[in-house]
Every structure is written in structure tokens, then in C-alpha cells.
Structure 1
Amino acid sequence: MLAAVSDANEARAEGFASEHDCVAVAPESLFENPEIDAIVLALPPQFHADYAIRAMRAGKDVLVEKPIALTVADAERAVAVSGETGRLIMVGHVLRFHPAFEKLKALIDQGDLGEVRYMHSHRLGLGKFHTENDALWDLAPHDLSMILAITGQPPLEVRGEGAALLDHLSDFAHLHMRFPGGLRSHLFTSRLNPYRERRLTVVGDKAMAVFDDVEGWGRKLAVYRHAVWQDSGQWAFTTNEPTYVPVEEGMPLTRELEHFIECIETRAAPRTSGEEAIEVLRILTAGSVTHG
């Protein structure tokens, strides 16, 4: 049950509380209230780690919006306190709970795509503009979380490049990653793009799959069974029309919150754990872009 809404802006808190039939409270009182079991933190990211630590030390489980922090050290502090206090810390990598991604992950785990050799993700659009984090740090955590879920291990090498057009923060960013076993991946983010693109492509040695969140539910997950082979020393290929995989409709944010509640009740480790969030921050830090 939602017990309360809190915001430094009292009027905004009261407005949301009225919508959700709960009370508006001052931020300080959240941590002191023994009847509140868990807190969802959606703050400017520079405040996430300290408030998460404060909540866990007050006996609350915590769901923290991404990114968990702006430095690896701060994220590690928060995860360490989770271990010390026995409180859960879950991070809002919401696309891990998208039904289309869950189905894609199942196809990969079942071997339908064969061995995954290459992935690329594009997350493009106009806005949002922040004063503390650039396009890479704002947009890439979702895609990095999905990529790490598929690879099951962190990259061996990360290279980044970006461009700052409005001020000192990058508005475009590319990340190139090399994983154990030769798997390669690249990620492109932009907050100065004239059209929206939300696409993850996975290339296996049996088939290719595309999770396109801009498409309607009937076309969000497509599998392409193209064939490539050598014939008399020359490469040949055939193309096939995509097969659209049925996907159960559902709001990723709702499913994420349901998972958080389930973890609170069962004390199971969250799917999007603090440890995973640390790996995401390590990649972001390693790929911190040079402007050009």
C-alpha cells in the first residue's frame, strides 16, 4: 500500500498525494516513520546514494531510480550498507521488466538465436536536459542493464566518444564494448535527435532479433532468420521477412514495482541489484566521453 508521497515542493507532494489517495509528508519524516517499510527514491542522481544509505540505516528497503549514483565509490558505499543492514537496494533499470525484453532474453537463453556475437542499442530523442548528467549517463543505463543481462558478465574493454553542442555536457555519445568470448557491442545515445528511437538489436549465429519499443505491441519484438554462408570461397546470403513474436502487454514500471514488493515480501535478491548498478557505473565511467 502506498503510505505517503514526499517532495521538497509541498504543493507538488500534496497534488500527487491527492491523486493516489494517500498523505503528503515532509521528506525528513519519511525516515523516522516506523510504519513505512520501503521508500522509492527518484531524486537528482547526486543525492541517490546518501538518501538510500539513510533510508537503509533507518530500516527501510529502497528502490533507487537510475543512475544509483554519479560515482562508483558512492554506489559501492550504498551497496555495502545494504549488506550491513540487511535491507534491500534495487535500482530502477525499468526496461529489464519490459515484457518484450523478457521474451527476448528467454529466446536467447533457449538458444533460438544461437551464440550471440554482436549487439547494438540506439536510444535517441529530443530532451531531457539535465545540469548534472549528460546524454550518456541519463539515457544509457537502461541499455547497459539489458546488455549486461544478456552477456552475464562485464566488458573487457570500453571506449567512449561524445559531442557537447549546448554546453559542457555531451548531447551525443557512443560506447563501444568488447566482452569475453569475442562478443562486441555498441551503444548510441542522443538527446538532440529529431525523432525517437528505442531499439536493441541482438545478432546471433542462428538468427537476429530486434526489440523496438517505439513499435506497437504486435511488432515490438522481431526475429530475422537470415542466412549467411560461404559458397566456393565467396560469401552468400539470403534474407527473410521478420517473424513478430507475441508479447504479453504490460507496463514495465508497474512490473518493476510489483517485483520490488515481491522482493520485500520474500527477501529475494532484486533482478536489478545494486551490484549490477555498480557494473553499469563502471562502464559509464570507463566510457566517459571526450567532446569533439
Structure 2
Amino acid sequence: MLRFAAIGLDHRHVYDMTAGLIAAGAACVGHDPETTDPRVLNGFRKRFPQVPAVDRERLLDDPSIDFIVLCAGPCDRAGVAIEAMRRGKDVMVDKPGVTTAEQLAAVEAAVRQTGRIWSICLGRLTSPSVQAALRVVRSGELGRLVHLTSLAPHRLNRALRPAWFFERDAYGGIINDIGVHAIDQFLAFADAPDASIAAATIGCFGTAADIAPSGFEDFAEFSLRAAGVSGNMLGTMRLDWFTPDGLPDWGDGRLFLVGTEGTLELRKNLDIEGRAGGNHMFVANQQRTRYCDCSDLPVTYYRDFLDDVRDRSGGMMENGRVFTVCRLALRCQATAVRFTP
């Protein structure tokens, strides 16, 4: 059985990542209690009472630990990941895996030098509905894919956020932070190795004046172009922190695909006046429309990651794709025009 440790309990994503790996057959044998948010640490201990607290250095030095799950503050993730890889461990990291181009270059160098796996837990990999939509696209039902629109609203939950969440240098900007999901998703649907940036805009529209000067951004919109296997494709992505409290989820994530022979829509989180739960897919082709509840479809990311750690197959997600996604996110963030309302 593969063994792992949780280091950097600074974001609640560590709960799902740890639970997913345990369900896939791995054993969590320790957690580093160092945190910038005691609420996350308490939540981890409540969910995984059997996992002992162990000093970070001991976890990194333990040769029986195969990999680490890393949810430290975003600007600290690259350094911890590099240290872990140099000590013989693979890494599954929360997004964003890096916050600067220099960090990305250092991570790439560490992967080359050590041969270790550095995997970012991206939304596409853990979403049943996105995986279902990819199968529809690859079946040819929609014809040649022409355009993708991704909407990713989030709830701010200001009272629950640690200080680093609002500091531009700490989290890397809105596109680098949550936009990395959309970029990875776009490349997957375009079946393209890379993309070019057509336009990018960021701004701070509704956030309280006392945190706006720190560089926090609550809205972004950007467009990408890609030359995929079946032809050129365009994509428009919108990100924001404006999910209203009245919505019964953290956001109404949606995806729209336009093909030459059909269209597809995903409502990832909820159907606000209809069916219960999330992972709703709607398809229209030349003959009919259909609905698919994707909520019970299996998510294989955690199992695939363990297979890669075990047999070094690289089948789950090549590091080259992860680096491309990060590079695009950083470039898009750096070149975005800041809009002042």
C-alpha cells in the first residue's frame, strides 16, 4: 500500500484530496500541523482522527512515505514541493502549484533532476461531468468543436479566508489561482498542446476598500486560441468572487461547447430551479436533445495518480501538460489589463 503525508494544511481542498487518495487505496500516515488557518487544521483532524501529527522535516525524511499532498499557502507550494522531490517523494499539489515564473522554472528543473511526479489537482480531473463532456466531444457527436465558454463564479466567504488569500504576491492573482482550472479544461477540449492569449482583463469591482489595495482581484475575463487536432478553437473564460449568499453552493459553474454538429452545456454545481445535486449535462445534436446526470460517474484521478506513483507510467497527466497550463496562467495573469470600475 502506498503511503503519503499531508503537508501545508492551509486550504480546505486538503480534505477532498486526502479523502480521495484514501478511498483509492493509499494510507495517510501523517500530517504537518503547521498552518496559517487553525480552522483548516481542526477540520482535518476531525475528518481524519487516525492520522498523527508529525513534524514536517520528519515527514520529508521518512523513506517509507511515497508522496505528499501539499496545500500550503500558494506562494510556498513550489519550495515545499521541490524539497520533497529532492528527498525522493512525488507530489500532489493543490492549485495554484506556483505563483511566479521563477517558481515554475525551479519546479521544472527539480522534476527533470529527480524524475519525481509533480501533479496539480485540477478541476477537470475530479469532475464527473467534465469527464463525461470530454467523452461526448471525442465521440464526434458535436462535430468539430468551435468554441468553449467557461463560467466559474465563486463565493468569497471573506470571514473564513486567511490573510494571504487577499495578498496578490501570496496567491498569484485570480487567473493564476482559479483560472488555471479553466485553462487546463480548454486545452483538454481543444486537444491542443498549447494556446495563445487573445485578451485578458482583471479587476476589483465589489471587494471592500480595505483589502483592495493589497492586490486582490475579484473578477477576470480572458480569451484563448488553440490549434487542436481537428482545427482551430476559441475559448472565453470568466472568473469571479460574486456568488451570492442565497445560492445553495459555492458557485454556479457552467461550461458551454459549440460544435459544427451540436452543442453541450454543463451545470457543474447545481441546477438553480430544477434537478437536485450537481454534474448536470445537456446535449443537443442534429437529431434530438438529451440530459445526463453525471453525478454517479466514477472519478479516476486519485486512482490514476497512485498507478503513476506505483509503476511510473505517466498515464494520468504528463508533467509537460501541467507545466504548459501553469505557464499560460502566469502569462495571462501578467499581461491582463487591469480594469478600474
TM-score (ref. length: structure 1):
0.85
User: Is 1:16 matched with 2:55?
Assistant: no
Cα deviations by residue, 1:197-224 (Å, 9 ceiling, x for unpaired):
2011111101111121123468611102
| Contact 1:157/1:179 (8 A) holds in 2 | no
Q: Percent identity?
A: 21
Work out the CA distance in 1 between the residues paired with 2:180 and 2:55: 30
After TM superposition, give the deviation of residue 48 of structure 1 in Å.
Answer: 1.3
After TM superposition, give the deviation of residue 281 of structure 1 in Å.
Answer: 2.4
Secondary structure of 1:80 counterpart: helix
Relative distance call for 1:48 and 1:272 in structure 2 (3 A) is farther
20-29 vs 263-272, which deviates more?
263-272
| Contact 2:195/2:226 (8 A) holds in 1 | yes
Relative distance call for 1:44 and 1:98 in structure 2 (3 A) is same
Alignment of 1:37-116 (within 5 A): 37-116=66-145
Work out the CA distance in 2 between the residues paired with 1:158 and 1:92: 26
Relative distance call for 1:67 and 1:14 in structure 2 (3 A) is closer
- Paired amino acid for 1:73: E
User: Is 1:204 matched with 2:259?
Assistant: yes
Secondary structure of 1:52 counterpart: helix
| Alignment correspondent of 1:139 | 178
| Contact 2:74/2:99 (8 A) holds in 1 | yes
Cα deviations by residue, 1:86-144 (Å, 9 ceiling, x for unpaired):
21111111332322111111111111111000001000132166223333232211121
203-212 vs 4-13, which deviates more?
4-13
| Alignment correspondent of 1:4 | 30
| Alignment correspondent of 1:173 | 220
- Paired amino acid for 2:232: G
Cα deviations by residue, 1:150-194 (Å, 9 ceiling, x for unpaired):
112221333101211331322100011122243110000001242
| Contact 1:162/1:170 (8 A) holds in 2 | yes
Secondary structure of 1:283 counterpart: helix
| Alignment correspondent of 2:291 | 244
Runs of 4+ in 1 over 4 A off after TM superposition: 9-15, 216-219
71-80 vs 243-252, which deviates more?
243-252
User: Is 1:124 matched with 2:124?
Assistant: no
Relative distance call for 1:157 and 1:22 in structure 2 (3 A) is closer
| Contact 2:225/2:233 (8 A) holds in 1 | yes
| Contact 1:158/1:286 (8 A) holds in 2 | no
User: Is 1:187 matched with 2:237?
Assistant: yes
Work out the CA distance in 2 between the residues paired with 1:226 and 1:219: 23
After TM superposition, give the deviation of residue 46 of structure 1 in Å.
Answer: 0.8
Relative distance call for 1:48 and 1:9 in structure 2 (3 A) is closer
> Which protein is bigger by CA-based radius of gyration?
1
Work out the CA distance in 2 between the residues paired with 1:37 and 1:256: 17
User: Is 1:256 matched with 2:301?
Assistant: yes
The structure with the greater share of residues assigned to strand is 1
Work out the CA distance in 2 between the residues paired with 1:251 and 1:94: 14
| Contact 2:280/2:295 (8 A) holds in 1 | no
RMSD: 2.5
Relative distance call for 1:175 and 1:271 in structure 2 (3 A) is farther
User: Is 1:156 matched with 2:191?
Assistant: no
Q: Please, which runs of 5 or more residues in structure 2 have no aligned partner?
A: 1-26, 271-275
| Contact 1:121/1:187 (8 A) holds in 2 | yes
| Alignment correspondent of 2:23 | none
